[in-house]
Amino acid sequence: MLAALAASATVTAVLSTPNAVAEPLRTDAIDQAAAVPASAQAETPTVEETFDGTALPTGWNAVDGSWKVQDGRLVGTSTSSGQLSRITFGTPLTDFRIESRLRFESALDGGRWVALGLDVAAGGAVPWSIATLRNGSTTANGLEFAQRTTSNTWNVTDTAAAPVQVGVGKQVSVAVEVRGTRATWYVEGREALRTTMVNRSTTGGQALLVNGATVSFDDLKVTPLPKESFIRKAGDPLRVWAHRGGSSAAPENTAASDEVARRARAEWIENDVQPTKDGVPVILHDATVDRTTDGTGAIRSLTAAQVAGLDAGSWFAPAFAGQRVPTLGEQLDGLKSRGGNLLLEVKGVHTRESVARIVTEIRTRAMTSRVFIQSFEPEHLRWMHELAPELPLGLLRSTLDPDPVAIAKDLGLSAYNPSDAAFRTRPGIVAELHAAGVSVNVWTVDDAARWEALEKAGVDGIITNRPAELYGWNTAFLQRAKPVVLSPAAGQKVDRAQQLRVAVNAGQPVTIALDGKPVENGAALDTTSLPAGEHVITAQAGTGVAVESRFTIVATPTGLAHLVLTSGASQSAVSTMTTLLGRRQYAVLAVYAGTPAASGLTAVRRAQIVAEAKALAAG
């Protein structure tokens, strides 16, 4: 559906008039990867606060609302749904984790929220990006990733229900991991939501925001993340690499195809780069301009000015008339202003000087943290490694090397990227390359049946012409990976007389816990031994997202009768208690059960009968 929409004339209009749609992304990510060693990033938090003092920490700026340190916690208050109380802190970081333990102290309603600011100017000026958690966290938009645009309006990019109910008075641990324009929400250690649409800048730090509530925070930490591994974690979906942009729905290697890929939530946009006659790197796949423009001739025989005048869209569809062959600089500027990461293929024959020009274009725009280089030519990758060792490298292959691991080590690869046909000849290379720390991404695959086969084979990503469809397939994959708790059902109210059995529907091994303690699938639950109130069944398949089912043990006359009849009390005590129960004299029963006259009761059962009789009397 995304692809079909993007193929319309609307995409062309969007590119020429950005204000016609939601505010464009501003993604001036910081180029810091080469400056800070990964080990130092992993070990040294840039912010670590326990709020043990009496004043706001040094460098923290309360932009608006009420912010104070009290009783070992930071407390932020917003008195109305229209007020955004904000406090800023920290330093600009590209890849980082922000985490805290927080608690709603009060809230105007379930829709009020707290947010972790992911990229916010110290003075609070728009635009900025946040990750929000609502008081009513299990609603469909209990979690969000959102942007405040330059026009001071909201652009909510992603929503989901949180895996736990928060509410007033309950402390929860929250964290967001940010990598460039991508981020992942965690609640109580469980992954709950992802985005590829974080709005970035060169100067924004971190922040906390409160809306229509009072929220307190403790143990807040911001930690730079080490260099990213491109090996897919167990339970994660396939990485989406958009081949020549969204090339099934827009003319390849143009701003329009980039826009399609961006809207399709591709993590990386793949483009090809070649030099013109005068040495300007431009985005084009073929050796000539004949197939994809209204011009003719070899790209290396045309000047950049000549290429700039060509129509690169009409061949695909009339709606794309006027699309141009971008220079690499224009392509990078577009990614910077509208969002996205670049998988750049160094195409055809290059000299060391032309490779150096590519590096200059990337570094000038501070984009090394958002560019991944690939090529069929090992020499190109050697030059890249010498000139820009911070850039991740991938080797493209139409046929497999005799020893992929050896060449990967020799070139310092982050990825080994074979064609699908080549991969079929030896799928075991995934395990071999993973053991060497090298990811495997297969090209160019547009068929869902092959996506499934490749996912099962353990590959890390797919280079595809259909990024929207692969993103949708990934969404379904994540849903399939979630177990379903059939019993106890979510929201079920259970009395002591009911018999419960844990039932979780999962297509793979699943870990189940009751109130944090392991239980087996199919295990019977003794309702008489469970405390009154809410209980939580959690189920997790592998390292996937955990799901919850909350049920409540409640007091009922039937349940109380079961407690009495199975109590082991003396015959006279049981007779007296059942008589009082039959007469609905719950308050008298509560008093009697607490006296020595109710002989034979254990201390635990006595307390249960008294508590449930009192609950029935009060209700």
Mean pLDDT of 484-497: 85
Helix (H, G, I), strand (E, B) or coil at 420: helix
pLDDT of residue 481: 66
Region of poorest pLDDT, from 27-41, 415-429, 545-559: 27-41
What the block records as the tokens of 210 is 């409160």
Q: Is the pLDDT of residue 15 over 50?
A: no
Q: Is the pLDDT of residue 178 over 80?
A: yes
Higher pLDDT, 191 or 617: 617
The pLDDT mean for the chain works out to: 90
The whole-angstrom separation of Cα 564 and Cα 576 is: 10
Q: Is the pLDDT of residue 581 over 90?
A: yes
Residue 500: which pLDDT band, with cuts at 50, 70 and 90?
confident
Q: Is the pLDDT of residue 40 over 60?
A: no
Residue 68 near residue 216, CB atoms below 8 Å: no
pLDDT of residue 426: 97
The whole-angstrom separation of Cα 229 and Cα 216 is: 35
Residue 396 near residue 345, CB atoms below 8 Å: yes
Residue 149 makes CB contacts below 8 A (sequence gap 6+) with 22, 23, 126, 127, 155
Q: Is the pLDDT of residue 509 over 50?
A: yes
Burial of 159 (0-12, 13-18, 19+ CB in 10 A): middle
Burial of 356 (0-12, 13-18, 19+ CB in 10 A): middle
| CA atoms 520, 522, 527, 532: torsion sign | positive
Region of poorest pLDDT, from 157-171, 250-264, 493-507, 604-618: 493-507
Q: Is the pLDDT of residue 41 over 70?
A: no
The whole-angstrom separation of Cα 561 and Cα 564 is: 5
Residue 537 near residue 552, CB atoms below 8 Å: no
Rg of the chain, C-alpha, whole Å: 30
Residue 475 per-residue DSSP state: H
582 forms beta bridges with none
Active-site residue set = 243, 285
* Beta-strand relationship, 371-375 and 393-397: parallel
Q: Is the pLDDT of residue 331 over 60?
A: yes
pLDDT of residue 27: 34
Q: Count Cα atoms within 13 angstroms, Cβ side, for 287.
A: 3
Q: What ranges make up the beta strands (E) of 347-403?
A: 371-375, 393-397
Q: Is the pLDDT of residue 313 over 80?
A: yes
* Beta-strand relationship, 95-107 and 213-224: antiparallel
Q: Is the pLDDT of residue 414 over 80?
A: yes
Q: Say what percent of the chain tops pLDDT 70.
A: 91
Higher pLDDT, 579 or 487: 579
The whole-angstrom separation of Cα 295 and Cα 312 is: 9
pLDDT of residue 543: 58
540 forms beta bridges with 511
Mean pLDDT of 242-267: 95
Residue 366 near residue 202, CB atoms below 8 Å: yes
Residue 85 near residue 67, CB atoms below 8 Å: yes
Among 567, 575, 465, 542, CA closest to 237: 542
Mean pLDDT of 453-464: 97
pLDDT of residue 507: 62
pLDDT of residue 32: 34
Look up tokens 């039932």; give the residue: 503
Residue 2: which pLDDT band, with cuts at 50, 70 and 90?
very low
Residue 452 makes CB contacts below 8 A (sequence gap 6+) with none
pLDDT of residue 33: 33
Residue 77: which pLDDT band, with cuts at 50, 70 and 90?
very high
Residue 13: which pLDDT band, with cuts at 50, 70 and 90?
very low
Mean pLDDT of 196-219: 94
Look up tokens 């009761």; give the residue: 601
Residue 74 makes CB contacts below 8 A (sequence gap 6+) with 49, 51, 56, 67, 68, 87, 208, 216, 217, 218, 220
| Helices marked H in 398-542 | 404-411, 420-424, 429-435, 448-457, 467-480
Instruction: Kindly state the greatest CA–CA separation across the chain.
Output: 106
The count of other CB atoms within 10 Å of the CB of residue 96 is: 23
The whole-angstrom separation of Cα 344 and Cα 354 is: 14
Residue 332 near residue 21, CB atoms below 8 Å: no
Q: What ranges make up the beta strands (E) of 6-112?
A: 47-49, 61-64, 66-70, 73-77, 84-89, 95-107
pLDDT of residue 389: 96
When mean pLDDT is compared over 331-340, 388-397, 527-536, the highest value belongs to 388-397
Higher pLDDT, 43 or 212: 212
pLDDT of residue 38: 35
What the block records as the tokens of 219 is 């143990």
CA 430 to chain centre: 25
Burial of 35 (0-12, 13-18, 19+ CB in 10 A): exposed
Residue 301 per-residue DSSP state: G
The whole-angstrom separation of Cα 72 and Cα 75 is: 10
Higher pLDDT, 402 or 490: 402
Burial of 260 (0-12, 13-18, 19+ CB in 10 A): buried
Residue 602: which pLDDT band, with cuts at 50, 70 and 90?
very high
Higher pLDDT, 462 or 542: 462
Among 221, 170, 217, CA closest to 72: 217
Residue 212 near residue 81, CB atoms below 8 Å: yes
Considering the entire predicted model, what is its pTM? Answer: 0.72
Mean pLDDT of 328-351: 93
Among 476, 541, 474, 458, CA closest to 507: 541
Per-residue pLDDT of 519-531, as tens digits, reads 999 899 999 999 9
